[in-house]
Amino acid sequence: MALELINQMIQGALIGGLYVLFAIGLSLSLGVMRFVNIAHGDLIVLASFILMSFSAILGLSPFIVAALLMPVAFVAFYALQRLLLQRLVGTNLLGVILVTFGLAIVIQNGLLQTYGPDTRKLSGGALELKSISIGGGLSIGLYPLLVFATAVVVIFALDRFLYRTSIGSRIRAVADDPAAANLIGLPSAKIYGIAMGVVGLTVMSAACCMSVWTNFDPEIGPSRLLIAFEVVVLGGLGSLWGTLVGGVIIGVAQNLGAQLDAAWQILAQHLVFLVILFLRPQGLFPRGPRT
């Protein structure tokens, strides 16, 4: 029994890696553009379906297709920001929330209309079946481990990108104070666009990891949004590494709750979130001046 619990916690921590990938794009758009993209989960699901279609047409592994589609994702999200969301920057948040909410419904029902309500899953090939024994009769899948490693790499890369490159420091400047950034000649609209393009890259990697690991259908977008949101809030706004901890907490809570039944899986996830939010509204690892 204790062994089973430990096993569930390890599996939960690993699926936390997937949740980190859901959350990292949301964290970036919240930290830089200061808005919650309600369509975030649906965009991940949309990317999964696009991946599925191209994978079927080209006859290639979803991993290769995802790598090929990365530039497309960047451009698509850049365009989404420049053509749609940028029009609402500077107005109150209401407009952005309502527009992304409308977008979420359009994507959800568009997918439902195009692909039907069936549950899908992509095949990752032999990779999915391999597992590593870690002693004590426990073993962990190679694929979950790779996803977790991907999450760590993405966070590391993003951290480097934001804090070690010149475009990263421009993004942070615009995030801290758009008006002042405009005054010193930073083209804030373009920089928002680039930041959103990077969000697109994280969404595509999240879609790739999710579609091979778990089932998906057109209507799971909102629940992915809630997971991503809880991970971001738990980690603390602006804290990239905090997101990793948030993801693990949510993953473990879900897996322990799932021991009771399916409803408790989600209930445990939400309750852990609410309790920590109540005790620490600023998140576990708030980033001083940026919060």
Partner 1 sequence: MSNPSGLVPDFPSVSVAADKARRLRTLTLALRALLFVAIVLLAAGPWLFDLNQLTLLTEFFTLLVLALMWNLLAGYADIVTVGQHGFVGVGAYAFFGLVVLAGLDPFLSIILAAVITTILAGPALLFILRLRLAYLAVGTWVLADVLSLIAGKLPGFGGGSGVSLPILVARAFGASVSQRVVTLYILTFILAAAALAATWLLLRSRVGLGLTAMRDSEEGAKSAGVDVPRMRVICFLWTAPFLGLAGALVTLQKVRVAPSASFSITDWTIFIIFVVVIGGIGSFEGPIIGTALFLLLREYLADFGAWYLILLGAVSIAVILIEPRGLWGVWRRFFPIDIIPVSHRSPESSDRTNPTKALPLEPSRPQRAETGENV
DSSP letter assigned to residue 126: G
* Residue number, 84 or 129, with CB nearest to partner 1: 84
**Cβ-based nearer residue to partner 1, 109 or 165:** 109
Residue found by looking up tokens 């859901």 in the block:
22
Q: Which is nearer to partner 1, 208 or 231 (CB)?
A: 231
Continuous H helices in 117-239: 142-164, 166-176, 178-183, 188-213, 221-235
Q: How far apart are CA 41 and CA 227, in angstroms?
A: 9
Q: How far is the CB of 265 from partner 1 (least distance, A)?
A: 10
**172's tokens:** 């942070």
* Nearest residue (CB) to partner 1, 108 versus 150: 108
SS3 content of the chain, % helix, strand, coil (to 5): 75, 5, 20
Tokens standing for residue 187: 């083209």
Residue 84 or 180 having the CB closest to partner 1: 84
Residue 133: φ, ψ to 5°: -80, 135
Which residues contribute to the site for partner 1 (CB under 8 A)?
A: 30, 34-36, 38, 84, 87-88, 91-95, 97-99, 101-106, 108-110, 112-113, 222, 225-226, 229-230, 233, 263, 266-267, 270-271, 273-274, 277-278, 281
Least CB distance to partner 1 at residue 220 (A)? 13
Least CB distance to partner 1 at residue 104 (A): 8
CA angle 266, 105, 20 (to 5 degrees): 45
Q: Is the distance from CB of 195 to CB of 203 less than 8 angstroms?
A: no
Q: Estimate the crossing angle of helix 40-58 against helix 2-33, to 10 degrees.
A: 100
CB of 186 to partner 1, least distance (A): 22
Return the number of other C-beta atoms located less than 10 Å from residue 89's C-beta: 16
Q: For residues 13 and 42, which CB has a smaller minimum distance to partner 1 in the complex?
A: 42
Nearer to partner 1, 68 or 105 (CB): 105
What whole-number distance in Å separates Cα of residue 8 and Cα of residue 4? Answer: 6
